[in-house]
Amino acid sequence: MFSNNITLSNGVVVPQLALGTWLIDDDKVGAAVRSAIEIGYTH
């Protein structure tokens, strides 16, 4: 599992890697997000 994190200026720690959906075709993005959630993606 990817474990590199970044601490923001307000102290919140977030993963350095996120699920990018902005270039996915509209008719495919829902399935991609569902699949990510099913495998435990939490960003």
Report the number of distinct structural domains present in the chain: 1
Report pLDDT digits (tens) over 31-42: 999 999 999 887
What does the pLDDT average to over 18-25? 86
DSSP string, the chain: ----EEE-TTS-EEES-----TTS-HHHHHHHHHHHHHTT---
Q: Residue 32's pLDDT is what? A: 92
Q: Residue 2's pLDDT is what? A: 54
Is residue 28 a part of any domain in this protein? yes
Q: Which domain holds residue 22?
A: 18-43
Is residue 1 a part of any domain in this protein? no
Is residue 2 a part of any domain in this protein? no
**pTM metric for this prediction:** 0.57
Is residue 5 a part of any domain in this protein? no
Residue 11 scores a pLDDT above 80: yes
Is residue 37 a part of any domain in this protein? yes
The length of the chain in residues reads 43
Is residue 7 a part of any domain in this protein? no
Is residue 35 a part of any domain in this protein? yes
